[in-house]
A and B are shown apart, each in its own frame.
Chain A
Amino acid sequence: MIRLEKRPSPSRLWTVATPVLAVALTMIAGGLLFAALGKDPVAAIRTIFWDPLFNEQFAAYSRPQLLVKAGPLILIAIGLSLGFRAGIWNIGAEGQYIIGALSGAGVGLAFYPMEAWFIFPLMVLAGGLGGWAWAMIPAILKTRFRTNEILVSLLLVYVAEQILASMSLGLMRNPEGGGFPGSRNLQQYPSAANTELFAGTGVHWGVVAGFVAVILAYVLLNRHMLGFQIRLAGQSPRAARFAGVNPNALVVFCLGVSGALAGMAGLFEVSGPAGQVSIDFNQGYGFTAIIVAFLGRLHPVGILLAGLLMALTYIGGELAQFMLGVPAAAIQAFQGMLLFFLLGVDVLSNYRVRLGKREVA
């Protein structure tokens, strides 16, 4: 007989061990999946987790790409984790990411073709402000009218996507693009380009911002009164109120910060790796970041590692696709398993597994 016994407080050991266990279980279940598809499971797992880092043919290129892919994920996930800790659920980072990209790119395109040092900083500012403003919609609706921020922020993603389509076809369309949708390529406009800072490393301003966000979030949560209030509000809303935490201010702060960070991530992406505003510019970073935040235990350092791991499965997954012919859907299922197992084994940090009969009280 197996029983679960609730722990008085979550186990510290298991809190750290469960992500590792989840990755191991994902490898096993994923291996079975690949084997069922007729692929060599060991080769597939090795291609996903090993080749992007150490394969001599690819690694020099794919290692920096890890940072390019992980940068926006980490930046967004850090912002989301603050709210998630306080029980404030911003599910619409994808929309804030889009609006941030549009606001920032809009500033850059407005200055075209002028060259000046202040254009890029202004774009970053506009990107952050755009994301912040988009997140303020659910924040104000929640504090004023008690609407559910999960629904409002999520549905605003679809509104943002429509605005993105309209911008790529209209206002921001490249006048020299032969009638095709999409803006000018910001990478070819030096004052607005988010270029690689050190050649061959993949590090651009967005990656730097991601690392800075990790450090600031760590300091905020561990050394600052506001961080304490965030944690308290999540663990015990009633106690938080007695301690003088203003729940409305917390909603505005958490949604605002996560919106601003998502908006900046969008700006760094549109001016860097993506290069232009286009109809399908957004690739789901805002949603994947939710997985990253939870995979990283809502802890800044955890999120840093989780972002890199997620990026690894993306890049390794691509390699597995064309090296071994693993279907794209199998890779997505593989990534889904990761979250599934993480949530599944989470039970171990909150419960103790007991073998044997229930003792008679």
Chain B
Amino acid sequence: MKLNALLAGAALALGLAGAAAAQDKTKVGFVFVGPIGDGGWTYEHNQARLAVEEKFGDAVETVYQESVPEGADAERVLTQMALSGADLIFTTSFGYMDPTINVAQKFPDVKFEHATGYKRADNVGTYSARFYEGRAVQGHIAGRMTKSNVVGYIASFPIPEVIRGINSAYIHAKAANPDVQFKVIWAYTWFDPAKEADAATALIQQGADVILQHTDSTAPQAAAEKAGGIITFGQASDMAEYAPMPRVSSIIDNWAPYYINRVQAVMDGTWESDDTWDGIGAGMVKIGEISNAVPEDVKAEALALKEAIASGAHHPFTGPLNKQDGSVWLAEGEVADDGTLAGMNFYVEGLTGDIPQ
């Protein structure tokens, strides 16, 4: 009885708070997997948050929480954010998928946007970027630049997004340099400077003179700089402080236009759940400036490749392509469909080693 009264009171207070919030600012929440100062993935999401603030000024209020573990804690953080009156919440890591869906069920009036996932609901949309398009350009530069013909790759988790990146980089490196081989280290982390530096050093010791990374810190750049004569690429963020060497280019995630667009949709009442997967063409993926450590002809080729991808003339996964076991994946001229790409769990032919099982 008493408990019921209490809950009713809380619900009433909640309703009032919700109504009050609806009248003034649009409140936008962000949940980050790393610290906003990671210099990579979370840094760029936070830049986009700041862009939202700048664009809408007093009409929005943004809140964020950094370094939120993926799992039970995320569910609590999301619930508290929704309770605090957020109208739209961006959850910016794959591991927030189930928590986002669970919390969204409890708050049908709050809109959720989950990055890199595949589960949607009436109030949950998903978005991701075609990073593999950037990987293609990176792979081309890597294949042309390597002298040892060994390219090192610091992979994070064996999920489709990461495997797609490895395949795309390898296909284009191989096209530019048939002798190239890839060595992949699985770091099992998105952000751990010590582990990433160890991985980079190990790859360099194994003869790699180009390091690609799918982890978010600048530690591999620092390790490469120390070793000397190694080239790297900025990941998620430009990492320009390491240009012109070792960082010769980068893939930059540019979330700002998308975030502004979605916040606007919530303000206009036109928001609908959908699945966005944009690449270089739409500006969600950008190629950071190619430094003067790269010869002019290589740079020109890389930019041409980027243009071809942006215009749709070239799809990074175009046949003939075989899977690692030699079976045919794509016939001559055939391009991969999004479904296969979204769930990619195999290497293409030529890559050595196994995807961890």
Contact = CB atoms under 8 A, between A and B. Distances in A.
Interface of A: 56-62, 65, 68-69, 165-166, 169-170, 178-181, 185, 200, 269, 273-276, 278-281, 283, 315, 318-319, 321-323, 325, 327-329
B98 A280 contact: no
B70 interface: yes
B70 A280 contact: yes
B66 A328 contact: yes
Contact of B357 (A170, A319, A323): A170
Given A165-B188, A273-B72, A280-B95, A178 B63 contact: no
A125 to B, nearest CB: 23
B98 A275 contact: yes
8 contacts: A61-B79, A178-B160, A281-B71, A283-B72, A318-B80, A321-B66, A322-B77, A329-B67
Given A318-B80, A321-B66, A179 B345 contact: yes
A273 B188 contact: no
A315 B76 contact: yes
Contacts of B64: 322, 325
A85 to B, nearest CB: 30
Given A62-B80, A283-B73, A328-B65, A169 B356 contact: yes
A62 B98 CA distance: 20
B84 interface: yes
A181 B157 contact: yes
B14 interface: yes
Nearest to A281: B71
Interface string B14-35: 1001000000000001000001
Interface stretch (B5-13, B173-181, B215-223, B251-259): B5-13
B337 to A, nearest CB: 15
Contacts of B76: 62, 65, 68-69, 315, 318
Contacts of B118: 178
B14 A57 contact: yes
B94 interface: yes
Interface in B58-86: 63-67, 69-73, 75-77, 79-81, 83-85
Among all A-B residue pairs, the 8 with the closest Cβ atoms: A273-B72, A60-B10, A179-B345, A328-B67, A322-B63, A170-B357, A56-B13, A322-B65
Given A170-B357, A315-B80, 16 more contacts: A57-B14, A60-B7, A62-B76, A169-B356, A179-B159, A179-B343, A179-B345, A181-B157, A181-B158, A275-B98, A276-B98, A280-B71, A283-B73, A318-B65, A318-B80, A327-B66
A57 B188 contact: no
Contacts of A170: 356-357
B330 interface: no
B51 interface: no
Interface of B: 3, 6-7, 9-11, 13-14, 17, 29, 35, 63-67, 69-73, 75-77, 79-81, 83-85, 94-95, 98, 118, 157-160, 188, 342-345, 356-357
Contacts of B344: 179
A276 B63 CA distance: 28
Contacts of A65: 76
Contacts of B188: 165, 279
B84 A57 contact: yes
A181 B157 CA distance: 8
Contacts of A181: 157-159
B70 A278 contact: yes
B72 A274 contact: yes
A60 B6 contact: yes
B30 to A, nearest CB: 9
B160 A179 contact: yes
A312 B66 CA distance: 18
Contacts of A273: 71-72, 75
Contacts of B85: 57
B356 A180 contact: no
Contacts of B10: 56, 59-60
Contacts of B80: 58, 61-62, 315, 318-319, 322
A165 B195 CA distance: 16
B98 A185 contact: yes
A200 B81 CA distance: 18
A170 B72 CA distance: 22
Contacts of B70: 278, 280
A281 B157 CA distance: 14
A278 B188 CA distance: 12
A328 B71 contact: no
B71 A278 contact: yes
Nearest to A180: B159
Contacts of A59: 10
Nearest to B189: A280
A278 B35 CA distance: 21
A278 B95 contact: yes
A60 B64 CA distance: 22
Contacts of B63: 322-323, 325
Contacts of B95: 278, 280
Contacts of A58: 80, 83-84
B83 A322 contact: no
Nearest to B77: A318
A303 B13 CA distance: 34
Given A180-B94, A280-B70, A328-B35, A57 B17 contact: yes
